[in-house]
Amino acid sequence: MARSYVREARRRGLGRRRDRIGPIVERLAREHADATIALRFRSDVELLISVMLSAQTTDVNVNRVTERLFEKYHTPEDYLAVPQEELETDIRATGFFRQKTKALRGTMAMLIEDYDSRVPERMEDLLRLPGVARKTANVVVAERGEAQGIVVDTHVRRLSQRLGLTRQEDPVKIERDLIKLVPRRYWNVFPHLFIWHGRRVCIARRPRCEECVLNDLCPASRIEVVRLPSHARA
């Protein structure tokens, strides 16, 4: 599917990916000026926990769980002070609660032992934490300051493919393609723009191409803009 969109971009004469990325980001920034992370947290530890719990569930569901969770647990030590079964019960609604509990407790223990109960700043240190893969680390780093990569979730993956920005399927390879295309100054906001556009307009099963501000830049758009030859436009 993604391959055909890359070819389709050429067929429709949409221009190079590098030339389209600026207008894509600028239009989405105007359209979704409120785009930001949907998870609710008050500290770096809460940010890390929220992102870890968000795997295979919705941000709305995570916020519902963490509203109570963060009133009960305040420090990394708190997550190790209760029996594992109690923490499992507290996060059960996020799904995969046994695996998530094991990862959370392992991460909290490493924060205490290696990082003075603080969330490390460097990507390589975050990736050492149990249950923290590149996507989670990217989110944490980006929300704390300057992004060191580009978060690739299901929305970013789908929209990057539909827009013909990548022909890859693997999130790590998609991120590599996007890093080459997207100016670094946009790395923090880029995922939020794609996530909100994916939720509001470019919906997986029913994309609203007629409402999309990118329909003339998107090779997957059902609205194909007729482009006149340069001599005709002159």
Catalytic choice (44, 59, 125, 153): 153
Distances (CA, A) of 43 to 18, 119, 126, 134, 214: 37, 10, 16, 20, 36
How buried is residue 96: exposed, middle or buried, by Cβ count under 10 Å (0-12/13-18/19+)? middle
Question: Rounded distance, CA 41 to CA 55, Å?
Answer: 16
Question: Rounded distance, CA 26 to CA 20, Å?
Answer: 10
Active site residue 153: yes
Contacts for 122 with CB less than 8 Å, ≥ 6 apart: none
Query: Nearest-5° angle of CA 200, CA 202, CA 205?
Result: 105
Q: Are 25 and 181 in contact (CB under 8 A)?
A: no
Catalytic choice (135, 170, 180, 216): 135
91: DSSP letter: H
Active site residue 116: no
Q: Both tokens of residue 198?
A: 């994916």
Annotated active-site positions, please? 135, 153
